Structure formats: C-alpha cells, structure tokens
Amino acid sequence: MRISLMTLLAATALMAQVPMKYPETRRDAVVDDYFGTKVADPYRWLEDDNAPDTKAWVEAQNKVTRAYLDAIPERGAIQARLTKLWNFERFGVPFKRGAHYFYNRNDGLQNQAVLFVTENLKDAGRVLLDPNTLSKDGTIALSSLSVSEDGKLLAYGISVGGSDWITWKVRDVASGKDLGDEIKWSKFSGASWMRDGSGFYYSAYAAPKAGDAMKGVNKNQKVYFHKIGTQQAQDKLIYERPDHPDWGLGAQVTEDGRWLLIHQSEGTENKNRIFLRDLSKPGSPIEPFLDHFDADYTVIGNDGDLFYVSTDKDAPKHRLVAIRRDQPESKDWRTLIPQGKDVLRSVDLIADRLVVVWMHDAHEKVEVFNLKGGKQRDIKLPTLGTVGGFSGRRQDKEGFYAFTSFTYPSTIYRFDFTTGKSSVFKRPKVDFKPNDFETKQVFFTSKDGTKIPMFLVSRKGLKLDGQNPTLLYGYGGFDISLTPSFGVQTLTWLEMGGVYAMANLRGGGEYGSEWHDAGRLKHKQNVFDDFIAAAEWLIQNKYTSTPKLAIRGGSNGGLLVGACMTQRPDLFGACLPHVGVMDMLRFHKFTIGWAWKSDYGSSETKADFRTLFKYSPLQNLKPGVKYPPTLVFTGDHDDRVVPAHSFKFAAQLQADQAGPAPALIRIETNAGHGAGKPTSKLIDEAADEWAFTVKALGMKISLKP
C-alpha cells in the first residue's frame, strides 16, 4: 500500500498536535486564607523532598523528559560541539601569600578546577588540591578557600551535590596533606585568618534537624574562631545576636592584622552594619563602628584607625570615603573619590594605590588612584566587557585581573604598578573565530517610558527579516548587574545561528541603588514590563518573531521567565526557567528564602500579599491557556531556591496547558542551585536545553564536528 506525501504530512501534523501525556500528579485539598483571599495549593506535598511520593514523582517526570529530549535528532551534534568547545585550558586569577602563588586551572573537561601552588609563575607548580579526586562524578566542589598570610596553611570549604552547606578542612601547603581540622554546618561564609596563622574566623549555623538540611530555615548565624589543631566543639563563639535572628554575620581580619571586622546584614537588603574589635589589645570588646543600617558599607583597607570605605550613603552610585575610628559620623568623613556619572563597582587597595572599577552602561572600565583620591592612570581594556578578580596586597608591586566579554574568553592579565602596563598572563585557546561575531548595545523604551539597555550578539551580516532564532536573557533583581561575559553555551547558540540578547532590567545594580529600587517590592512589575518590552523591541525591529523567540533566566531570573510567560503567553516561542522562585507566597518558609523579603516583600503582610499574588508564577497559571513550549530546570540538592518551587510550577503547568506544546521539567540529581556543578553535568544540561529550543523554535542547524 502506497502512502501519498500529502497523507504523510497530514499525519505528521496531526501527531504534532496531540497533547503530551504526563505522569499523574496527585492534587490535595490544601487551601490557604490570605487576608480573606482563598488560595489553593494542591501540590503542597511536593515540598517534602524526602517523601517517597515526591521521589517517585521526580523519577517519573525525568523519565518523560528524558524520552522527549533523547528523541530530538540534533541533540547529539549539539552535545558533540559543546564538548569540543568546552575542552580548552582555563585559569583563575592567581594570588600571592608568603612566597607562594596560588591559582586554579582546568585542563578542559575536568569536572572541577584544580588548585595549584608555585613559587614562580613561569612554572606550573604542583597540585595542592584536586577536587576531582573527592567524588567519582565530580559533584564535590571546592566552594571557598583562604590561605594564611605566610602561605603555609590552606583553609578550604567543600560542598557536596551543589549544596550551600560548606565543610571546612585545613591543608598543609608544604606537604599537601590535610590536618585533622574539620568544621561542619557553615554556610554563606569565608575563612579569615589571624595574621599569625594560629586560626581563622568563620560563620556557621546550628546543625539542622534530621531531614531538614535541604529545606530547613537558616537563621541565627554566628561567628566563631577555629584554632588550628583543635576540634570544632572547642571553637570559640565570637559574636552572635539571638535578639536579631535574621542578622547575617561574617568576619574579616584587616590586612595589617590589627582589626577584626564583623559585617552584619539583614537578608538581601542593600544595607549593613560594621562592628570592630582591636586585635592588638587582648580581650578588647566588639564595638559598633558603622551601625546605623542606613547604607551599604565595604571596608577597602585601613591605615591604623583610618578606614577606607566604599558606600552609597548619600551617593546612589557609590563613593569612596575615609573614616576615622573615633569620628564615624558622616559629617566627619573625607571623600576621596566622589560619586560620578558611572557606578563605582569595586575598589581594591593594591601597591598602596586604589584600583577602581567603574560600570558604564553595564560594561566596565578601570582607573588607578593614589590614596588621596588623585587619579593616576587608566588600565586599558581590550574591548567592551567585564573585569573581575583583582588580586594583590598593599606591599605588592603587581596585581592580577581577569577580563571577559561575549566573544572574548576570560583572559588573565598581570598589571605592573611600577610601569603601569598590563600583560597577558594566561590566554585561553578556544575553537572558534571571534571575528565572525559582533556585539551591539541598544536602548529600548519600557512600558513607563524608562530607557533600558540591551546587548545583542550575533554573527556579522545578520539579516533583519524577523526569522532569526533569538534567546532573550535577563535577571532584574537583588542589585545584581549583568555585564558581558564569555560562555561556551552562549557561543554554541551563536554558532547555531542564534541571536543572543541580554537585557539590563531594573532591579539590578547597573545604574546604582535607584535602579535597584525601581525593580523591587511594589515596583517589581517594572522588571517584567522591561523584559516584555525587550521582547517586543526585538520583534518590532525584525530581529526575530514570536515563534523564534526563547526566554531564559535563572533563580530570580527563573521568576522573571515564569512571570512573563504567565502574563504574556502569546509573546514567546519557548520558555526556559532555571531554578526559579515560582511560589511567591511561600518562598520565605525554606532555607534562606526569608532573606529575600527585602526585594520581594512577604505574603505575611496584606499589602505585599496583594503585590505578590498578582505576579507569582505558580498562582497565575490558568487552565485553558496555550502556554509556549517550556522546559523547567532544577536540582534535587538546591537548598537556595528549593526544588519545590519548580516541582509545583511544572505540575500546575502540565495540568493547565491547553495546547500541544510540551511542559517538561528536568530535575538534575545530586545538583544544587548551580555553583560547583561539574563540567560533565553542565554539558549535558546545555545539550538538553539547546536541543529543546531547536525543536521548539523549528531551527535548522549546522555545527562544526
């Protein structure tokens, strides 16, 4: 029997319209009353990550998703190209302690970067710590490290499966062997050494109850001192505030060893307090220094009782001031670098100079000043991009930094403060031709008339015919700025013929605290309006069209994608929310979620509930709506934004989806919010994401082998 071509095409089209069959998800009769508004929460049971029913649901969802993704013909070629591109040597910014230089290196496809130590940067040196030996699948990561001033001891924190929890250990640099020291249940903490190397300060929480490690609320953080060679039970409690359980506390010893700084924060509020202890006087008390909680304060360094402080006090774009210990009130401050038209992004004190990074329209420039605030020179950068990781000490004559842009792989530079010249220390070799691509910055108008910047990256000679597959990325929150950076995943998208668009939405820090304030709390809708306006601009200017437009974001950016796809399901061709905050009515009930109230507010108050309820992605999914093809990403060990957000959102989306477009969830096992994810998992995830997007947008791709 012969089948005509028309019959075959008709059958294929019919199959494409058949809705997907998803695993059955139990709906419970759970209803909450928020100030007289009844809100159903039928998938509340998915919040229990340890329950057998939840684990069975995860397994069933992954089975459906895996079958869908593995059937996409282009996935193999995408994964092969990702793997080849990712296989390049890359380095971290080196730093010096004592006679030793320390730096991270990944030879290409290693799951985790390896820590090296050397006495001469012309030599590779030796391996000091290789996290790849700590687990077979690369899911144990080096999350933090600190070296004693003499360079003899390394305190290093490891995390398992992407969790925010850190276990601290201590390694002897000379022998490369661990001492017996071990510290557990530390989180959101570094390690700051006493200048004599006798021990270090760190922050920790009480051990969680059984079964609560990944979802229990984190409060009452405390600062401890660990003396080398002792057990954690003997660590000295340095500072706690049981009267303020929401206070986050961190400790830092100044470079001269004189002062212990206690940094206090309240959630993610862009304000803090600083307390001081004079370590030159045994038994001295911890006293307030900058304790009005009226601005952001960062101590850059000090000369005795004089502190150099970066602050946005009376300066939304930040300034650098000198503050005397005995005259901490703002009327007595001396301004060294005043607020300018650009945001003062960071200041480092190296070689008795101030290295200042400015942010101009979401990209960066660097200047060097003397300690009186007089400008000495610019540090010329290769192109429009981002500077990171300036390292160096007061006594050094050199410093190191990284520079990156969309098509400029992260390159490490050495800066000589004597000559004022930069030179390449390590330049990666990546298998692509950067001159084939171009970066533009445009400004579009949001709903309320605000001008918003957006970067556009594509192959040169792009035709503006509305048919270009385009990925629009955003974040828009917590004073975090999006600046140009290199990524293999983005590069692969560009090679597939895609346009990459990154919008600098309100809520971020691109233009200072006023820009941040314009996208938080009752103004949060501005962020979604900005993102929607970015999509509309791309369509109106013929870069793309709705069937060819995908949106992507992670964490707060996952919320962004969730909110925009529920508000404008007609606008997008595919949605890719990663580890998103999807249940805005309950985010504060898990791990560190309560800390985000400064950006979001809380459903515990009537006014905030009304604001949150209007845009919360979970509660704004509606039955009978044709939502775009959606692939939700999360990790079963995400203890930052617990996976229940994504679980519940995916379950509701599958129940409400009226069209044939897939509504899938990809749940990575033994993985968390993203930090420390091994290279192998990054490649697999990227291959799945691009394969899904290629299918959703109907792309025809051709990739180098």
Taking only the tens place, the pLDDT of each residue in 255-309 is 999 999 999 999 999 999 999 999 999 999 999 999 999 999 999 999 999 999 9
Per-residue pLDDT at 705: 75
Catalytic residue selected from 148, 458, 555, 646:
555
Alpha carbon 4 to its chain's center:
53
pLDDT at 14 over 60: no
Domain boundaries, the chain: 41-84+435-697, 90-209+219-253, 343-429
pLDDT in tens, 77-126: 999 999 999 999 999 999 999 999 999 999 999 999 999 999 999 999 99
pLDDT given at position 17: 53
Return d(Cα 58, Cα 477) in angstroms, integer: 29
Closest by Cα among 615, 555, 600 to 581: 555
> Mean of the per-residue pLDDT values for the chain?
95
Lowest pLDDT segment from 2-11, 496-505, 624-633: 2-11
Residue whose pair of structure tokens reads 């004189």 in the numeric block: 258
Class of the CATH domain delimited by 90-209+219-253: mainly beta
Given the structure tokens 């900058």, which residue do they identify? Answer: 290
pLDDT of residue 30: 98
Instruction: Categorize the per-residue pLDDT at 8 as very low, low, confident or very high, splitting at 50, 70 and 90.
Output: very low
Q: In the structure, what pLDDT confidence band is assigned to residue 667 with cuts at 50, 70 and 90?
A: very high
Structural tokens at position 374 = 């007089």
Ranges 153-157, 209-213, 309-313: which has the least confidence? 209-213
Per-residue pLDDT band for 639 (boundaries 50, 70, 90) equals: confident
AA identity, residue 116: F
Q: In what order do the strands lie in the sheet with 343-350?
A: 343-350, 353-360, 363-369, 375-379
Q: Is 516 a residue of the active site?
A: no
Could you say which of 100, 318, 588, 673 is catalytic? 673
Using 50, 70 and 90 to split pLDDT, how confident is the model at 704?
confident
User: What pLDDT band is residue 597 in, cutting at 50, 70 and 90?
Assistant: very high
Sign of CA dihedral 322, 323, 324, 327: positive
The yes-or-no answer on residue 163 being catalytic is no
Categorize the per-residue pLDDT at 45 as very low, low, confident or very high, splitting at 50, 70 and 90. Answer: very high
Report, as an integer, the average pLDDT of 674-696.
94
Q: What is the mean pLDDT of residues 396-423?
A: 97
Number of Cβ within a 10 Å radius of residue 258: 17
**Which of these ranges, 59-63, 133-137, 492-496, has the smallest mean pLDDT?**
133-137
Return the CATH fold of 41-84+435-697: Rossmann fold (3.40.50)
Query: How confident is the model at residue 15, as a pLDDT?
Result: 38
pLDDT for res 637? 77
Task: Kindly state the tokens that stand for 178.
Answer: 């661990």
d(CA 371, CA 367): 13
- CA atoms lying within 13 Å on the CB side of residue 532: 17
